Amino acid sequence: MLFNSLEFFLFLPIVFVLYWFVFRGRRWQNLLVVAASYVFYGWWDWRFLILIAITSCCSFASGLLLEHFEGKRRFQQLVSACNIVINLTILFIFKYFNFFTESLNMLLDSLLGYHLDNVTVNIVLPVGISFYTFQALSYSIDVYQKKLRATHDVVEFFAYISFFPQLVAGPIERATNLLPQFQRERRFDYAQAVDGLRQMLWGFLKKLVVADNCAKIVNDYWDQYQDLPAVSLFLLGVLFTFQIYCDFSGYSDIAIGCARLFGFNLMRNFNFPYFSRSIPEFWRRWHISLTTWFRDYIYFPLGGSRCGKWKIIRNVFIVWAVSGLWHGANWTFVCWGLFHATLLAIYNLFGINTKYKQVVAHGRFFPNIKETLQMGLTFFLAVIGWIIFRAETMTQAWQFLTAMVSNKFFDASLVKGGTYLLLGIALLAVEWLQRDKQHALQFGSQPAFKHAAVRWGIYYLIILICYQFAGSSQTFIYFQF
């Protein structure tokens, strides 16, 4: 079920009413969350519910076994390893099998002239498999590392894995944050619910108005890169940069807002990343739940930053190669990851301080020249990265990037994306004003927003903007991951 579908607009109020008025009490509410989440996910293809159930069962059982073998580290290592292997095998089969066999085939063909026939199989990628697999892994690793006690309640564990607001595109929750919320009674909090609705509204605006419209232009023109002038290619890159941000952070806003209606606080996933002053800062603000996951479960165990400079750089490259692969079974994603790893290594090698304590232009309306240049450079690098990310093959990515410098700079065949570019800029302008908040519609103590009429006027205006500008419905980009 898509957030931007009629089904969801019927589903959400029904589940909300059942949750707060019919299924009273924590256990019943957890049961309802599981049932609702399975309906939500099964709306696409009910057969893939079996995969979520298997993942949930394995991780739940691993938690119990880890507790059972308390004090027997060898057994615990074995249990933890088995759980990781099972989860990653499922992920590998459904997401990477064809990619690796095709790559192996190409390698054998080019090195030995040997060609394997019929090595690929027709596998449908289950929506959001990377998200819930990582969420399940985080639980068993945390239990193994004794950051969390294993749960004995199968319902609350299934609810934790399948919680519908964030099931298919995150945020990738940690068991240490979300699971305890299923273990305690929830009380309806008016302020939290209202703010959740606001965040959802902002998410819908991002998705419907900016992401979907930019998607149409990008999809229509992307393949014509050899004929378009450089300025249009850069515009396409910028439009895709807006699209992916508004698509993914829009989804996260809706997910977080939706969870708040049910009394849950999910972790923040985006923190206005395009206002970053460096690539390291960008990655502390973009898809936070994934970058911190990699930091905690791969980067730190490899030694993190507490080792020699070259080891740090090696660790960065390992993490970003895996991160690229997590995004999709294509070399473009791996190269995109390595592109960012290179940038991060450069920042590291030159010892550029990127640990800013405050948001950009803190206490000021406009950034200073240095901050503007830093943000401009970071945005430009992000655009280059997203062009690699969007390309279907590395050849296409390379040709696109070279066309940006070799094609005519300007001619009449401009891309028709001016309106959507302006919409994207307008949206970023609002976010700039609210950059010290959790989301753009979180009203602070400004006197104007104390009047309900002003706030409601803003909400109605956003709804009418969605009425006017909503693009043709597109699925969320990150569903494929």
Partner 1 sequence: MKKFIYKTVAFVLPFWLLLTVVDYLFSQVAKETNDYAFAIESWHDVMNGDVEADVVVMGSSRALYHMNPVVMDSILGENTYNLGVDGRNLNTQINKYYIYRKRNKKPRLIIQNIDAFALKYEVGYNKYQFFPYFWDEDMRKAYFNEEPFTAGEKYLPMYRYIHRGLWVFLSNNEKHLVKGFRGQNSSWNGSAFERIDSIPFVVSDTTSRRFDEYLSQVKADGIKVVFVYSPIYIGATRKMTDQKRVYATYQHYADKYDIPILDYTNMWLCYDTSYFYNAMHLNKQGADIFSDSLAHDIKRLGILNKP
In the block, which residue shows the tokens 């206490």? 363
Measure the CA–CA gap between 303 and 344, rounded to whole angstroms.
Answer: 16
Amino acid type, 368: N
Q: What would you report as the CA-atom Rg of the chain, rounded to the nearest whole angstrom?
A: 23
Measure the CA–CA gap between 441 and 82, rounded to whole angstroms.
Answer: 45
Measure the CA–CA gap between 459 and 462, rounded to whole angstroms.
Answer: 5
Q: Catalytic site residue 327? A: yes
Q: Is 398 a binder of partner 1 (CB under 8 A)? A: no
Burial of 330 (C-beta count, 10 Å sphere; 0-12/13-18/19+): middle
Q: Is 18 a binder of partner 1 (CB under 8 A)? A: no
Q: Are the CB atoms for 407 and 235 separated by under 8 Å? A: no
Q: Is the CB of 409 or the CB of 467 nearer to partner 1? A: 467
Nearest-approach distance from CB 197 to partner 1, in angstroms = 8
Q: Is 20 a binder of partner 1 (CB under 8 A)? A: yes
Q: Among residues 431, 450, 451, which one has the least CA distance to residue 441?
A: 431
Q: Is 479 a binder of partner 1 (CB under 8 A)? A: no
Choices 24-32, 131-139, 306-314, 457-465; region in contact with partner 1 by CB under 8 A: 457-465
Q: Are the CB atoms for 222 and 390 separated by under 8 Å? A: yes
Residue from 100, 310, 409, 460 in contact with partner 1 (CB under 8 A)? 460
Number of residues engaging partner 1 in binding (CB under 8 A): 17
What's the N-to-C CA distance of the chain in angstroms?
16
Residue from 107, 395, 467, 475 in contact with partner 1 (CB under 8 A)? 467
At a CB cut-off of 8 Å and minimum separation 6, what does 262 contact?
Answer: 16, 19, 33, 165, 186
Amino acid type, 110: S
Q: Is 25 a binder of partner 1 (CB under 8 A)? A: no
Q: Is the CB of 75 or the CB of 443 nearer to partner 1? A: 443
Nearest-approach distance from CB 218 to partner 1, in angstroms = 21
Q: Among residues 9, 2, 31, which one has the least CA distance to residue 19?
A: 31
Amino acid type, 157: F
Measure the CA–CA gap between 166 and 248, rounded to whole angstroms.
Answer: 12
Q: Is the CB of 81 or the CB of 463 nearer to partner 1? A: 463
Residue from 77, 145, 406, 473 in contact with partner 1 (CB under 8 A)? 473
Q: Is 475 a binder of partner 1 (CB under 8 A)? A: no
Q: Is 100 a binder of partner 1 (CB under 8 A)? A: no
Nearest-approach distance from CB 386 to partner 1, in angstroms = 28
Residue from 6, 121, 369, 453 in contact with partner 1 (CB under 8 A)? 6
Residue from 110, 122, 353, 468 in contact with partner 1 (CB under 8 A)? 468
Catalytic residue from among 287, 327, 340, 439: 327
Q: Among residues 131, 122, 124, which one has the least CA distance to residue 169?
A: 131
Q: Is 347 a binder of partner 1 (CB under 8 A)? A: no
Residue from 100, 310, 398, 456 in contact with partner 1 (CB under 8 A)? 456
At a CB cut-off of 8 Å and minimum separation 6, what does 7 contact?
Answer: 1, 43
Measure the CA–CA gap between 283 and 286, rounded to whole angstroms.
Answer: 5
Tokens of 247: 């698509």
Nearest-approach distance from CB 466 to partner 1, in angstroms = 9
Nearest-approach distance from CB 217 to partner 1, in angstroms = 17
Task: Give the length of the chain.
Answer: 481
Residue from 54, 449, 470, 479 in contact with partner 1 (CB under 8 A)? 470
Nearest-approach distance from CB 5 to partner 1, in angstroms = 7
Choices 37-45, 100-108, 223-231, 452-460; region in contact with partner 1 by CB under 8 A: 452-460
Q: Are the CB atoms for 357 and 284 separated by under 8 Å? A: no
Residue from 74, 117, 122, 190 in contact with partner 1 (CB under 8 A)? 190
Residues that bind partner 1 (CB under 8 A): 5-6, 20, 188, 190, 193-194, 197, 456, 459-460, 463-464, 467-468, 470, 473
Q: So which residues are the catalytic ones? A: 327
